[in-house]
């Protein structure tokens, strides 16, 4: 409340009317929400597991999840058939380690950029108000790694922190393979709600948090031990807390909870760890994508209507119109007629997993909810995991056979467009976009506007040098 009744209600984006109201455009791009951010070690995202993971994220209403041990090669981002956007970073050739972010459609519209640093660290920046939020997903070396690998990891993580805008809310999520314990003398770094005994890696993590003014969020909230442990041994006799969410101390009050969700299941020995924070997202301005129509299904009605409308344009004496006006009239004829008579082109990248896989995944999740402490439940869980893998392989084989049959059919009917599209789908290695660029000084640019400005400068300098050469 303001002290005076005449004072306007100032909004974070600055779009305030005379009467203190926010304009309609601002309301459409700004809304208050509780943002759910988490981390999950999925133990590989191969063999169709991505669809199972995104299904679990929707079921638990997760907005943004950091993924550890993805085991994909390359770097980039892409949109799934369910409109989730995956930003990932892995090794160039070997399928090991790997980190990623999966953003639901609401958060994906607010992403300013991401930076795939290496196979263990990736960052993402989300537009909000009154400030933006930067999230780092990390996957630390395991206990079998040597000290040099661990030191390199923390050095790279420190560089990632230093590269983040100091005004942003910073969150670090991931699998740190460290135990900070339930009791600690470092009250400014962690609470008393941890789990287990502290080890040497845990001390390194605590020292790292002290240097960067971070606090371990999932040790602050009183929870049942079932909501604290994040990893379970294969025989289910040992449970540890090795996945963490780290936040800056000054933003501690923005977080309402941090706990694991044992009911979420993707066949991993790690639990889904999630935090809930109060945050206001703001959509990024995006260009509207053009509608794509299936031109292979052009009907006679489309041809007749386009022909009649073109005939009317000729009767109106087009020579009196400017080229721009004439082009707009032709464009309107084609697009309006297509909208009325042509179907939209279907997405070629449809999920190839059958419903049987998801039914088996639901059964496996229910077995996990009953508890894996009993031998019978553990055996049922393993049997269902084997059945899921077997069904996934079967679905993959059926998908390839189906596409091969479509290629043969299109070859017979001379439908070369769809034929080559299916051949490309079967033979080409998928290449995803990578929106990262370096400036003249070698600094990494991740946001779209910075990348556009850099390309503009590059082209201007290029053509300026060419003009000097030929003049």
Report domain extents, the chain: 24-282, 295-341, 355-427, 437-470
DSSP character at residue 249: G
Helices 147-162/200-211 angle, 10° precision: 20
Nearest to 259 by CA among 289, 218, 199: 218
List pLDDT tens digits, range 93-146.
Answer: 888 999 999 999 999 999 999 999 999 999 999 998 888 999 999 999 998 889
Cα separation, 67 vs 137, whole angstroms: 7
Cα 155 from chain centre:
25
Note whether 198 and 242 are within 8 A (CB).
no
Cα separation, 54 vs 101, whole angstroms: 11
pTM of the model: 0.82
Range list of β-strands (E), 185-242: 214-216, 231-232, 239-240
> Which residues are within 8 A (CB) of 183 and not within 5 positions of it... i.e. 6 or more apart?
192, 194
Q: What is the chain's pLDDT, residue by residue, as a tens digit (471 residues)?
A: 333 334 333 344 444 443 444 455 544 555 557 899 999 999 999 888 999 999 999 999 999 999 999 999 999 999 998 889 999 999 988 889 999 999 999 999 999 999 999 999 999 999 988 889 999 999 999 988 899 999 999 999 999 999 999 999 999 999 999 999 887 677 789 988 888 889 999 999 999 999 999 999 999 999 998 999 999 998 888 899 999 999 999 999 999 999 999 999 999 999 999 999 988 888 776 666 777 777 777 777 878 888 888 777 777 766 667 778 878 888 888 888 888 887 777 665 667 889 999 999 999 999 999 888 888 999 999 999 999 999 999 999 999 999 999 999 999 988 888 888 889 888 877 777 888 888 888 888 888 888 888 888 888 888 887 777 666
Helices 355-370/49-59 angle, 10° precision: 60
* CB crowding 296-313: b at 16 or more within 10 Å, else e: eeeeeebeebbeebeeee
Nearest to 57 by CA among 100, 103, 6: 103
In terms of DSSP bridges, do strands 169-175 and 243-248 run parallel, antiparallel, or are they unpaired?
A: antiparallel
Handedness of CA 347, 349, 353, 359 (dihedral sign): negative
Cα 255 from chain centre:
21
Place of tokens 């003249």: 440
- Topology annotation, domain 24-282: Deoxyribonuclease I; Chain A (3.60.10)
């Amino acid at each position: 409340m303001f002290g005076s009744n005449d004072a306007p209600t100032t909004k974070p984006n600055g779009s305030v009317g005379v009467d203190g109201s926010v304009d309609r455009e601002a309301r459409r791009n700004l809304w208050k929400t509780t943002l759910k951010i988490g981390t999950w070690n999925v133990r590989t995202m191969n063999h169709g597991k991505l669809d199972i993971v995104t299904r679990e994220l929707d079921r638990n209403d997760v907005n943004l999840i950091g993924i550890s041990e993805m085991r994909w090669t390359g770097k980039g981002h892409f949109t799934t058939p369910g409109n989730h956007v995956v930003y990932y970073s892995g090794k160039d050739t070997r399928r090991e380690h790997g980190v990623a972010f999966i953003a639901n459609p609401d958060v994906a519209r607010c992403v300013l950029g991401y930076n795939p640093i290496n196979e263990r660290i990736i960052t993402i920046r989300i537009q909000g108000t009154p400030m933006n939020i930067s999230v780092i997903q990390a996957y630390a070396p395991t206990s079998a790694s040597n000290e040099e690998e661990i030191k390199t990891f923390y050095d790279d993580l420190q560089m990632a922190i230093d590269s983040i805008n100091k005004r942003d809310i910073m969150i670090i999520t991931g699998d740190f393979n460290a135990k900070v314990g339930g009791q600690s003398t470092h009250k400014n770094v962690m609470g008393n709600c941890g789990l287990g005994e502290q080890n040497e890696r845990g001390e390194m993590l605590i020292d790292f948090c002290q240097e960067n003014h971070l606090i371990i969020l999932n040790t602050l909230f009183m929870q049942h031990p079932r909501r604290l442990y994040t990893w379970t041994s294969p025989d289910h006799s040992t449970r540890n807390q090795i996945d963490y969410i780290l936040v800056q101390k000054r933003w501690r009050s923005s977080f309402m909870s941090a706990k694991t969700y044992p009911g979420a299941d993707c066949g991993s020995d790690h639990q889904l760890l999630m935090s809930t924070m109060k945050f206001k997202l703001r959509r990024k301005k995006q260009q509207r994508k053009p509608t794509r129509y299936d031109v292979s299904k052009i009907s006679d009605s489309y041809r007749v209507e386009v022909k009649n409308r073109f005939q009317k344009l000729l009767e109106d004496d087009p020579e009196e119109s400017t080229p721009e006006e004439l082009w707009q009239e032709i464009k309107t004829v084609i697009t309006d007629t297509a909208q009325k008579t042509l179907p939209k082109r279907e997405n070629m990248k449809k999920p190839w997993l059958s419903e049987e896989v998801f039914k088996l995944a639901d059964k496996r999740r229910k077995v996990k909810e009953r508890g894996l402490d009993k031998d019978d439940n553990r055996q049922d869980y393993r049997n269902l995991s084997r059945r899921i893998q077997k069904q996934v392989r079967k679905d993959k084989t059926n998908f390839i056979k189906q596409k091969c049959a479509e290629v043969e059919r299109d070859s017979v009917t001379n439908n070369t467009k769809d034929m080559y599209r299916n051949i490309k789908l079967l033979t080409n290695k998928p290449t995803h976009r990578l929106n990262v660029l370096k400036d003249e000084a070698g600094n990494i640019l991740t946001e779209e506007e910075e990348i556009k400005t850099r390309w503009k400068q590059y082209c201007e300098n290029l053509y300026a040098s060419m003009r000097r050469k030929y003049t």
